[in-house]
Amino acid sequence: MKKTVLITGGAGFIGSHVVRLFVNKYPDYLIINLDKLTYAGNLENLKDIENKPNYRFVKADIVSADQMLQIFNQFRFDGIIHLAAESHVDRSISRPMDFIYTNIIGTTNLLNMALGQWKNNFQDKVFYHISTDEVFGSLGQEGFFTEQSAYDPRSPYSASKASSDHMVKAYHNTYGLPVLISNCSNNYGPNQFPEKLIPLAINNILNQKPIPVYGKGENVRDWLYVEDHAQAIDIIFHHGKKGETYNIGGNNEWKNIDLIRLLCRIMDRKLGKPEGDSERLITFVKDRAGHDLRYAIDATKLKKELGWQPAHTFETGLERTVEWYLLNRKWLENVLTGEYEKYYERQYQHR
Ligand code: NAD
Ligand code: DAU
């Protein structure tokens, strides 16, 4: 094999798309998918590639130095693409410590392992950390986040991701570890866990349950189809300049309420229902604590320097996403376990 690449969090939403892309596109790379399989990790996401000869799955917790040491003793990695994280803002508000352990301590554990294995011989090695635009805080009505924007995280989730970004940069500055970081906007697409806005709304429409919209639905997010994010990760992994950060975004801003209305129209059409049928499920509920008003990414650097462009428009991406959830009701049923029901009850009962 030409390279051995460790992908963490590969059983999750974005990670599974990255693993699939790498396993299929690079048959001469050995891809190791390391995942703890939390509620958000699901090996069903990778059924189509699980028997490929260049793919291995390892169940492990990045917080455990012992488990990481075992894996780093077993394999010699050329590259690490680190996606494993606690990723849901609402959960970070109710259980911040999970985010401190996985996002900060887990990331630092991996940095130590990479440093130990590569022992200052950094030739052709890279530790690529996948991060979020939320580290830059909240925008007003105007402006965009660039790579120069100051860090201003405002939720336990974004603070834990900001902290992990700082550790990655510190290992580069202090020890010379070859690192890359990208900060991406909101992803959507197949296999997203139905705690996030779009799949939660799709699932609720399918089950004729209220669609909870926080506050007045005025908050703005910049949406990117998940396969476009995976493509950007491939390009940055292979061509990014070590020590640099790249912003990734869809240049596709939507107010939550407008997005939900569009989604309702698509669902009505796909389900053969009269227009307006799903919209009546929209229910305004108590706002998220510290709810960031607006995120918007300026991805000029990635486009100009590395030639990345998203391939999907929002309309085509959203259609594909809805179609996937309609065709994969079994997948939805399987992830909607007792844990999900309990989470949903806790999260939405007093809103
Ligand atoms: P996800 O929650 O769907 O998946 C996370 C994966 O990490 C799961 O498979 C889970 O089992 C695994 N994991 C969690 N804790 C672990 C641990 N301690 N050890 C090993 N594995 C563990 O998340 P996602 O939405 O796919 O996000 C992936 C990454 O991309 C995260 O780092 C997130 O911060 C970042 N990101 C996400 C978005 C987005 O819109 N979803 C946007 C920008 C950046
Ligand atoms: O910007 C990148 C980030 O996008 C990623 O780093 C996070 O991992 C990812 O979860 C996402 O964070 P958000 O908080 O923006 O995503 P979420 O889907 O939770 O919410 C999107 C918007 O919809 C946000 O303004 C809150 C609102 N919302 C969310 C839920 C779950 C609702 O109005 N109702 C809901 O039930």
pLDDT of residue 340: 83
How confident is the model over 180-188, as a mean pLDDT?
A: 98
Which ligand is closest in space to the CA of residue 344? 2
User: 217 phi and psi, to 5 degrees?
Assistant: 75, 20
Residue 98 lies in a domain: yes
Tell me, in angstroms, the distance from the centre of ligand 1 to residue 4's CA: 21
149 lies in which domain range?
3-191+224-252+293-312
How confident is the model over 243-264, as a mean pLDDT?
A: 98
Residue 203 lies in a domain: no
Instruction: Choose which residue among 196, 213, 294 to substitute to test ligand 2 binding: the one with the highest number of ligand atoms within 8 A of its C-beta.
Output: 196
pLDDT of residue 341: 84
Separation CA 166–CA 311 (nearest Å): 31
pLDDT of residue 310: 97
Residue 57 lies in a domain: yes
Residue 147 lies in a domain: yes
List of E strands, 226-310: 245-248, 253-255, 282-285
- Please identify which of the residues 29, 55, 128, 157 carries the catalytic annotation: 157
CA-based nearest residue to 45, from 311, 332, 317: 332
Would you state the structure tokens that stand for residue 32, as one six-digit string?
């190791």
Confidence class of residue 182 from pLDDT cuts 50, 70 and 90?
A: very high
Looking at the DSSP assignment, which residues form a beta bridge with residue 34?
8, 58
Residue-averaged pLDDT of the chain: 97
List of E strands, the chain: 3-8, 29-35, 55-59, 79-82, 126-132, 179-184, 186-188, 211-214, 220-225, 245-248, 253-255, 282-285
Residue 273 lies in a domain: no
Sheet strand arrangement including 186-188? 186-188, 220-225, 253-255
DSSP one-letter code for 120: T
Tell me, in angstroms, the distance from the centre of ligand 1 to residue 185's CA: 14
Which atom of ligand 2 is found nearest the CA of 132? 6
289 SS3 class: coil
Residue 264 lies in a domain: no
Looking at the DSSP assignment, which residues form a beta bridge with residue 285?
214
From the CB of 219, is ligand 2 less than 6 Å away? yes
Residue 281 lies in a domain: no
Which ligand is closest in space to the CA of residue 221? 2
Q: Give pLDDT tens digits for 192-217.
A: 999 999 999 999 999 999 999 999 99
Domain tally for the chain?
1
278 SS3 class: coil
Among the residue ranges 84-88, 167-171, 298-302, 329-333, the one predicted with the least confidence is: 329-333
DSSP one-letter code for 60: -
Q: Which CATH number fits the domain that encloses residue 44? A: 3.40.50.720
From the CB of 104, is ligand 1 less than 6 Å away? no
% the chain with pLDDT above 70: 100
Within 13 Å of residue 229, how many CA atoms lie on the same side as its CB?
Answer: 30
Cβ atoms of 17 and 233 within 8 Å: the answer is no
Task: Tell me if residue 133 is catalytic.
Answer: yes
From the CB of 163, is ligand 2 less than 6 Å away? no
Task: Tell me if residue 157 is catalytic.
Answer: yes
Instruction: Choose which residue among 42, 68, 80, 87 to substitute to test ligand 1 binding: the one with the highest number of ligand atoms within 8 A of its C-beta.
Output: 87
Which atom of ligand 1 is found nearest the CA of 186? 40
Would you state the structure tokens that stand for residue 87, as one six-digit string?
């990723």
